[in-house]
Structure 1
Amino acid sequence: MVYHWQSQNVKVSGVDDMVLLPKVSEEAIVENLRKRYMDDYIFTCIGPVLVSINPFKQMPYFGEKEIEIYQGAAPYENPPHIYGLADEMYRNMLIDNESQCVIISGESGAGKTVAAKYIMSYVARVSSGGERVQRVKDVILESNPLLEAFGNAKTVRNNNSSRFGKYVEMRFDAGGQPSGGKLSNFLLEKSRVTCHNSGERNFHIFYQLATGANSQMKSEFGLMELDYYNYLKYGGNHKVDGTNDARDFQDTLKALRVMAIKDTETTDILRLVAGVLHIGNIHFIEKGNYSQVADKDYLDFPAFLLGISPEQLSHKLTSREFESKWGSQSESVDVTLNVEQSLFARDALAKDIYARIFDFLVKRINAAMETTQEEFEIGILDIYGFEIFNKNGFEQFCINFVNEKLQQIFIELTLKAEQHHSQKHLLFQATMRQNSNINQLTH
């Protein structure tokens, strides 16, 4: 008997592919998805499109047996699965000698990042190769926990929400063996470093460091309890169900080693992360219409961690340098800030340091995956989902605008392309009604 992950479930639950629905309507689609979801069928096809519904629990069909079932199988030989999509991409790349791309879209908390990880792990598993290729696979897979530590956070809808967008290129040689890769990141939510909504958390790495650091690190970085840091107070509860920050910190350290980041460099990275936390505890008072640091004791440790003097840090937070020019002459002038401006300067410094840490990690990941042997690639786009909070910033505008653009691309590639193909081959001449979002993108 051939093993099948749904062999225990003999109940017919809707249809695998919704193009087979007797009547295609919004109500029929929703009802089909509901039926399948209630029976733990989280994947459903719409032609070449795979619909995935987040089950918010561990599912039993992502193991080695499932990989064997879908490896090399025909698209409709097995029920819909993310492994089936990944296998089809990989085989199409080899057969057609053409690069592939998958766009993963959906609302925040829909499970996009998990789907991207399953695609990468599947392709890494089924592609062959020796020791050098295994090194490439390790780097690609270990980049996930590293990026999640520094780029993910708990939100009201998702305990492990990606707060940045990424496009991962898995590169292959002519034989289909992984030869390297490249990661492009964009739209890191820097504002989360200094402020986040109630019920949410800052980036995972802050909690991992504070709870998972050994005694030497805690002493060297001046680490205290989580409630001590202003930048971690906004969300309320620091705990996340099902998350062990101390254990995850060890996974982060392992990922840093896989990226060939030296122990001294890791110490420098974590020192800066701790420095960001300490910067948030610097406060200001007004004296003579100008700001000054309220308690200079709070300057010492962040200055030490940043490798500058307390006086230099105080000067940068309470004044701003302007350069005035007249003719060929120029002069630098220091303008003293008020309390509000100093708080803004403090937060801007913390956000900039963190963004540079993140960019450095992406650079090192790319260096570890760099290759000169590239024939084809599989691209995986994983970006924030559409989101609306009680308090929305410029980041939410950018995120939602990008999602509207992706929706427009989907309309172009599926509905309009399918209609053009049908009309070209005289299958039908009727025009399909489409809910285009072009007005949202042009006004």
Structure 2
Amino acid sequence: MVIKVGSGEIDDLSTLTVLDKESLLRELRARYKKGIIYTYIGDVLIAINPFKQLNIYEKQQHDLYKYVQYRNQLVPHLFWIADQAYRKLCLSKTSQCIAVSGESGAGKTESTKLIVSHIIHCSGDAGDRELQNRIIETSPLLEAFGNAQTCMNQNSSRFGKYLQLNFTDTGRIIGAKVYEYLLEKSRVVQHGPGERTFHFFYYLFAGLEKETLEYFYLDDPETYRILKDPCGGKVFPDRSDVAYCRQMFNTQKEIMQRLGFTREDINMVFTILSAILHLTNIRFSHDEETDGVYIEDEYPLEVGM
């Protein structure tokens, strides 16, 4: 059977007789219009962000793509990549690596979480559920402190992440370690129009009670320079944004508790975030007598220290 190029029916683009940019894009465009977001090019999987929820990551798909023998019997899927890495790990007893790359908003963060969830599904049993859940929950917690809204993406990762999963010789998962690098620390003090700093600063104001905010000497969010919109808009544009940030605050707090953070640990996190907010409000002015600088108002320094 001959399949026409541009029909959207070619699962593996490496089988094209002419493998050029135009042919690849034509086929990917046709598949995307059909609602097909995954396509193979050999062992590489191309994923196109649908920008909507899809019901293709349920238990049914987890079971279907577990220990896959013949790839062409199933439609392309992210779970196949995860399954192949896990199978090769078990068979070769050597480390495997999955590289996830793409532009901002391509779906790298969500894809990584789905890959981890499938590997855990393949490797664990009912007795490992608590450990598995803790590993999966590290991602949203890291996102709260390392992701931010940009002009292209509401939840853009502002850091690189290397997640190492550890297994026994029999392929049972026993732990994980996350390495972060290239954190965009400059975003803490400056961000562009239409953008925000890291999520948790906003969660803090939406989630803490008034009395707790006062305990950390925190005022209205508009008071703090690093939260202000460069165009003069409100920190929280509407009530739905406040409600969402409050929900995320409670979610992150619950995750920290499940991951073993004590009440004192969590309180220290809030203290550090509050100190950053105060210290970045410090303004310096030129001192003509000494040709140096002085702090205009020492209040932010006093409460920040």
CA distance in 2, matches of 1:266, 1:39: 46
Task: Name the structure 2 match of 1:85.
Answer: 81
CA distance in 1, matches of 2:154, 2:207: 19
Q: CA deviation at 1:39?
A: 1.3
TM-score (norm 2): 0.89
Which secondary structure does the structure 1 equivalent of 2:99 belong to?
Answer: strand
Which secondary structure does the structure 2 equivalent of 1:171 belong to?
Answer: strand
The answer to whether the aligner puts 1:228 opposite 2:223 as a matched pair is yes
Map 1:329-340 → 2, pairs under 5 A: none
Letter matched to residue 276 of structure 1? I
Query: Is the 1:286–1:292 contact (alpha carbons within 8 Å) kept by the matching residues of 2?
Result: yes
Map 1:57-206 → 2, pairs under 5 A: 57-74=52-69, 75-129=71-125, 131=127, 133-206=128-201
CA deviation string 1:162-187 (max 9, x = no partner): 11111111111012111112211111
CA distance in 2, matches of 1:109, 1:96: 35
- CA separation of 1:190 and 1:20: change in aligned 2, threshold 3 A: same
Q: Across the two proteins, how many residue pairs are aligned to each other?
A: 291
Task: Name the structure 1 match of 2:299.
Answer: 297
- CA separation of 1:30 and 1:277: change in aligned 2, threshold 3 A: same
CA distance in 1, matches of 2:185, 2:77: 35
CA distance in 1, matches of 2:219, 2:59: 43
CA deviation string 1:341-361 (max 9, x = no partner): xxxxxxxxxxxxxxxxxxxxx
CA distance in 1, matches of 2:126, 2:103: 39
- Give the RMSD, CA atoms, in angstroms: 1.9
Query: Is the 1:223–1:274 contact (alpha carbons within 8 Å) kept by the matching residues of 2?
Result: yes
TM-score (norm 1): 0.62
The answer to whether the aligner puts 1:270 opposite 2:291 as a matched pair is no
Task: Name the structure 2 match of 1:281.
Answer: 281
Letter matched to residue 83 of structure 1? F
Query: Is the 2:8–2:28 contact (alpha carbons within 8 Å) kept by the matching residues of 1?
Result: no
Q: CA deviation at 1:31?
A: 0.6
Unmatched tracts of structure 1, length 5 or more? 1-11, 304-443
Task: Name the structure 2 match of 1:431.
Answer: none
Letter matched to residue 131 of structure 2? V
CA deviation string 1:51-82 (max 9, x = no partner): 01111111221111211221222322211111
Which secondary structure does the structure 1 equivalent of 2:105 belong to?
Answer: coil
Unmatched tracts of structure 2, length 5 or more? 1-6
CA distance in 1, matches of 2:122, 2:47: 22
Which secondary structure does the structure 2 equivalent of 1:139 belong to?
Answer: helix
Task: Name the structure 2 match of 1:377.
Answer: none
Which secondary structure does the structure 2 equivalent of 1:103 belong to?
Answer: coil
Q: CA deviation at 1:140?
A: 1.1
CA distance in 1, matches of 2:220, 2:31: 45
Map 1:290-329 → 2, pairs under 5 A: 290-303=292-305
Question: Which range is displaced more, 291-300 or 163-172?
Answer: 291-300
Percent identity of the aligned residues? 34
CA distance in 2, matches of 1:188, 1:14: 40
CA deviation string 1:232-259 (max 9, x = no partner): 1145554589961111111211221122
Letter matched to residue 79 of structure 1? V
